[in-house]
Amino acid sequence: MLKGLALAFLTYALYSWNDAIVKGLGPELPVVEIVFFGTLAQSIVIFLLRPRGERWRDMFRMNHPKRVLLRTACGIAAGLLGTFAFTTIPLAEVYALFFLTPILVTLMSMFILGEPVGWRRLTAVAVGFAGTLLVVKPGFRELHLGHLAAAGVAVVGAISMIIMRMIGQSERRVSLVGVVMTGALIVSAILTVPVFRLPSLSALGHILAIGVFGGISQFTILAATRAAPANRVAPAQYSQIAWAVMLGSVFYAEFPDTLSLFGIALIGLSGLFTLLREDKVAGWPARIILMRNRP
């Protein structure tokens, strides 16, 4: 159990450093080019991994092709929107909006899947929304497209998780991972052509780091879920809030005010409660939450 938790915290630390590096590339490269090179670097490592009992050449043999392709579209959109958000607004605010995903999953499961949602989960939704208002402060300061992009990631991430609830037990893992990666590579490559800039040596080093961190995180999250139950590993993702505040303040001079910190705490508590409650009430595995919705 302790080994699994340690690996989970390591995984989300790697994710956070990865996102901080993406933010640093923002002033030098277009968003679509960052997505392309980042996905390419990670896919080289990820495609070396073969899920036990499956083959990568079977990734297009899908049982539910329409739903897999819809999840792929969500992953591509999340990659582009998330990268834009990281390069335009503070890290902590991006994560605060990202962590609305479990709350949106609760609402979508009620309206789309017809699941009963009790007052406890609805209260958590209200608390999370209140936390978002404290972080974003609409009407009290200028909002940016980055905030809208981060909220968009939460929406498409929630849609992706609903799809996973429908097909996660019947679809090949190579399809769930490989099709998203391949789609992201193709789309970002096409979008990169008209805006391509030759990366500097420094940028290439950062891209390499994204690939290494992204690849290692795939190993560590799989190892974590083998060593400990997924519903014990999943809450570790909320450690990213602390990483965001630290990395943002150290490298990008981003210092959240007191209201923002309080709002971030509310969102984290609300999302954590919703995540654990979903696993207990709806009977679906927390492993779904663990899956990173951005390539």
Domain presence at residue 103? yes
Domain presence at residue 132? yes
Nearest CA to 263 out of 103, 94, 132 is that of 132
d(CA 191, CA 113): 35
d(CA 210, CA 29): 14
**pLDDT tens digits, one per residue of 160-191:** 878 877 776 777 777 777 888 889 999 999 99
Query: How much is the pLDDT for 288?
Result: 39
Domain presence at residue 295? no
Nearest CA to 79 out of 46, 34, 41 is that of 34
Q: Give the range of the structural domain holding residue 254, as residue numbers without chain letter.
A: 2-290
Would you call 112 helix, strand, or coil by DSSP? coil
Exposure on the CB side of residue 119, measured as CA atoms within 13 A: 0
Nearest CA to 282 out of 86, 108, 32 is that of 108
Domain presence at residue 73? yes
Query: How much is the pLDDT for 281?
Result: 43
**pLDDT tens digits, one per residue of 259-273:** 888 888 887 787 677
Query: How much is the pLDDT for 257?
Result: 84
Query: How much is the pLDDT for 284?
Result: 40
Query: How much is the pLDDT for 7?
Result: 87
Query: How much is the pLDDT for 194?
Result: 95
Query: How much is the pLDDT for 150?
Result: 92
Domain presence at residue 119? yes
Q: Are the C-beta atoms of 88 and 144 separated by less than 8 Å?
A: yes
Domain presence at residue 241? yes
What is the pTM assigned to this prediction? 0.83
Query: How much is the pLDDT for 140?
Result: 60
Domain presence at residue 202? yes
- Domain tally, the chain: 1
Nearest CA to 164 out of 222, 224, 101 is that of 101
Ranges of the chain whose pLDDT falls below 70:
49-52, 113-117, 138-142, 168, 222, 229-232, 234, 271, 274-295
Query: How much is the pLDDT for 120?
Result: 76
Radius of gyration of the chain measured on its C-alpha atoms: 18
Would you call 117 helix, strand, or coil by DSSP? coil
Q: Are the C-beta atoms of 153 and 102 separated by less than 8 Å?
A: no
Residue 293 token pair: 């919705």
Domain presence at residue 240? yes
